[in-house]
């Protein structure tokens, strides 16, 4: 039976295929996590490019093994040419929210060590401002209940991420919990990032600010947006 690809998956695949235009043989490529990246991994494996990947999750590492994409430990290399990753939400400044797949810590480490960062997304991920996607915050388990209280008092509407099946807390690859903050709108992501980074017990947050260099938005006609200049706003 032939399955018809739905519109969102079609857009994801179009964005993933377009990202191949920025890949060259012998590159060291950061490989993100998620459904859109999965399409990119398929395209990369089918291409003629001889590359080495640096993965951001055990899931991506497993996919690379299945597809025979060679990978290397991040500490065994001195540079990453480009990272291709997805995003849960992107604003007009190319800032984003990531971490829906609970891989934000490793994704941010790889991104920060990359010369260039490309995000591949479907049209539904692009908004004028951030906040419609809950902001993930990775925290150590010890004292996580205290952080939940502090975040609630701050008006961040936090909720500990749990598995829908057994209701146990989701554990990241690094052994941490995820607190999702349901704020609807984030008026000043820079100030919020500064606040979160100052809280003891917070390992990392899902605000990726001034990191992405180019987003590829999948559609019938692929749209590419590039960062013009850094946008910093701290009040």
139/121 Cα distance (integer angstroms): 26
How far is CA 143 from its chain centroid?
A: 26
Task: Give me Rg for the CA atoms of the chain.
Answer: 18
How far is CA 196 from its chain centroid?
A: 18
Counting beta carbons within 10 angstroms of the beta carbon of residue 93, is it exposed (0 to 12), middle (13 to 18) or buried (19 or more)? buried
Annotated catalytic residue, options 107, 138, 194, 233: 107
- CB distance 181 to 135 below 8 Å: yes
The reply to whether 107 belongs to the active site is yes
Question: Could you list the active site residues?
Answer: 107
């Amino acid at each position: 039976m032939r399955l018809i690809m739905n519109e969102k998956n079609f857009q994801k695949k179009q964005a993933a295929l377009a990202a191949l235009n920025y890949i060259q043989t012998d590159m060291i490529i950061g490989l993100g996590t998620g459904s859109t990246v999965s399409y990119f991994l398929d395209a990369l494996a089918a291409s003629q490019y001889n590359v080495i990947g640096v993965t951001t999750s055990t899931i991506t590492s497993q996919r690379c093994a299945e597809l025979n994409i060679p990978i290397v430990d991040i500490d065994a290399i001195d540079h990453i040419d480009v990272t291709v990753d997805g995003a849960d939400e992107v604003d007009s400044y190319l800032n984003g929210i990531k971490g829906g797949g609970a891989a934000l810590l490793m994704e941010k480490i790889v991104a920060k060590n990359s010369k260039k960062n490309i995000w591949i997304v479907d049209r539904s991920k692009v908004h004028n401002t951030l906040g419609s996607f809950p902001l993930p915050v990775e925290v150590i388990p010890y004292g996580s209940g205290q952080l939940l209280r502090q975040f609630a008092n701050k008006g961040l509407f936090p909720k500990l991420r749990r598995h829908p099946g057994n209701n146990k807390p989701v554990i990241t690859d690094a052994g941490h919990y995820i607190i999702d903050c349901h704020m609807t709108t984030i008026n000043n992501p820079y100030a919020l990032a500064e606040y979160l980074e100052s809280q003891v017990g917070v390992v990392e947050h899902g605000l990726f600010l001034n990191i992405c260099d180019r987003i590829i938005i999948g559609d019938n006609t692929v749209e590419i947006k590039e960062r013009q200049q850094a946008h910093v706003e701290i009040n």
